[in-house]
Amino acid sequence: MQADRLTVFPAFHKVTEGVVLVVGDGAETAAKVRLLSETTARIRVVAPAPEADLAVLLGADQIEHRARGFDAADLEGAVLAFAASGDAACDRAVVAAARASRVPVNAVDQPDLCDFFTPALVNRAPVAVAITSTGAGPVLAQKIRARIEAMLPLRLGALAALAESFRPAAERVLPKGQVRRRFWAEFFDGIVSEATLAGRADEARRFASKLLNQPDSEPEGFVWLVGAGPGAADLLTLRAQRILGEADVIVHDALVPDAVIAMGRRDARRIPVGKRKGAHSASHAEIEAVLVREAKAGRRVVRLKGGDPLVFGRAGEEIAALREAGVPFAIIPGVTSALAAAAEAAIPLTLRGTASALVLAIGHDSGGATPPDWAESARSGATLAIYMGRSVAGDVAARLLEAGLSRATPVAVVENASLPAQRLLAGTLAELPRLAERDDLTGPTLIFVGDAVAAAGLAGAEPLSAPSVLAA
């Protein structure tokens, strides 16, 4: 037998309105019943003494329970059978009776007695993906299933169902060949797909109708405002990864790491737009113009921002520009840097009896001044997470002291949250102004202020004071 050839042929059994027999009382029977419950099959369970997990399932309308031992008559009308009793003699009797009745049978954990193998299933009905190791490594099949489960959008089945509803019209209206292929390519890759996967069913149907009635029109562009998270590539959301893999153009900030940008298609055009403090390579008006221009040209555009687009990411201005230009868009949230930094330092942002509110604040406004409005919130016990506050740390401290906070209020600073170069510093509000003196801190920083910070894991943190100040 050649090692690179399968010993099985993958196929899907039709079970609609058919009976699937499962024999057994325990956990394996319960597992099979749960799997079969994802189909339209009628499930017949032969279990004289069902264990607790199985007993909970037996009340479903889809399930017929026969509370006795197995009998060959239980195979009447069956299209598939499972022997899951765990008793060798009983399982062999089920297998023998099933084969005599020409019903394909599976004996759990007994590959030699199986006519078919139960796959690890990814269900996106009517789409399904089944993985098998042909009994050699069930755990491996489950690991592969988990990978595929993460890759496939939950609403993929809705997209398939929408396509099925449009298929008769497409075959009637569109000529075979390139025109019809182009329609389906745009259907599954363009704004019809995006609207469906985002749960906007009515909008998706309108887009699909327009595409069907105007098959020769240029593809309609789309813009996604995507949060890249704090930097670590594995903190990117699954939806963000999928969209990056579909984009024609990626417009990215300077703070987005190369590893995240590399998740895009190899042939996608990358457009860097800077946005580092004090070194902006493009004005925001220019960035908005790029997004509109690329989308109007029929391209799928990802605007990739560090953190979350809606948290100090100026997404509001880009949304307004896209709306004014009539460009469809969607927002994909990211892990905002404050949450990532707090997680890395084990800072409880809210804490029973200590902090019942969290304020996300910016250290300076567009003119460089420190906004005073958030300082009052700290007096009520809120935890402050301050973005872009390192260079104005003295002004931040002054505002908070003016608002009535104690000089001993705990402070933590996280630089390069989630990245290998991450650093954690800790001290008090009285020491916070010294942060601006630290010329060894060059990465993005988050400042946390509040009594809840004292409950953080700060034992190994560096002092806030610069080394030169301590030496003096």
Task: Print burial letters for 3-37: b (CB count within 10 Å at least 16), e (below 16).
Answer: eeeeeeeeeeeebeeebbbbbbbbebbbbbbebbe
The pLDDT value recorded for residue 366 is: 58
Contact at 8 Å (CB) between 62 and 42?
Answer: yes
Same topology between domain 221-335 and domain 338-471? no
The backbone region for 338, taken as left when phi is positive above 0, alpha when psi lies in -120 to 50, beta otherwise, is alpha
What's the CATH superfamily of 19-118? Answer: NAD(P)-binding Rossmann-like Domain (3.40.50.720)
Which listed CATH number (1.10.3080.10, 3.90.1170.50, 3.40.1010.10, 3.30.70.141) goes with 221-335? 3.40.1010.10
The lowest-confidence range among 101-110, 166-175, 194-203, 462-471 is: 462-471
Residue 414, pLDDT score: 93
**CA 334 to chain CA centroid, nearest Å:** 10
Mean residue pLDDT of the chain comes to 88
Beta-ladder partners of 107 = 83
Q: Which of 443, 447, 424 is nearest to 254 (CA)?
A: 443
So what's the pLDDT on residue 472? 41
Instruction: Write the class of the CATH domain 338-471.
Output: alpha beta
Helix (H, G, I), strand (E, B) or coil at 350: coil
Taking a C-beta distance cutoff of 8 angstroms, is the pair 317, 288 a contact? yes
| pLDDT-derived band at 367, boundaries 50, 70, 90 | low
Work out the pLDDT band at 470, boundaries 50, 70, 90: very low
63-66 and 42-46: which strand pairing?
parallel
Q: What are the start-end ranges of the H helices in 267-409?
A: 284-296, 315-325, 337-345, 375-379, 393-402
pLDDT at 275: 57
* 369 pLDDT tier (thresholds 50, 70, 90): low
In the three-class reduction of DSSP (H, G, I as helix; E, B as strand; rest coil), residue 120 is classed as: strand
pLDDT digits (tens, 9 = 90+) for 190-247: 788 888 988 889 989 998 998 888 866 667 788 999 999 998 988 999 889 888 988 8
Mean pLDDT, residues 311-332 taken together: 93
Least confident of 219-233, 371-385, 410-424: 371-385
**Domain-by-domain residue ranges, the chain?**
19-118, 221-335, 338-471
How many residues would you count in the chain? 472
**Which of 461, 349, 351 minimizes the C-alpha distance to 415?**
461
Query: What's the one-letter identity of residue 465?
Result: S
Residue 469 has pLDDT above 60, yes or no: no
Most confident of 104-108, 235-239, 274-278, 311-315: 104-108
CA-nearest of 360, 363, 359 to 393 is 363
Question: Residue type at 376?
Answer: E
Indicate whether 290 pLDDT > 90: yes
Q: Residue 321 has what pLDDT?
A: 95
For the chain, counts of helices (H) and of strands (E): 16, 18
Residues annotated as catalytic are 253, 275
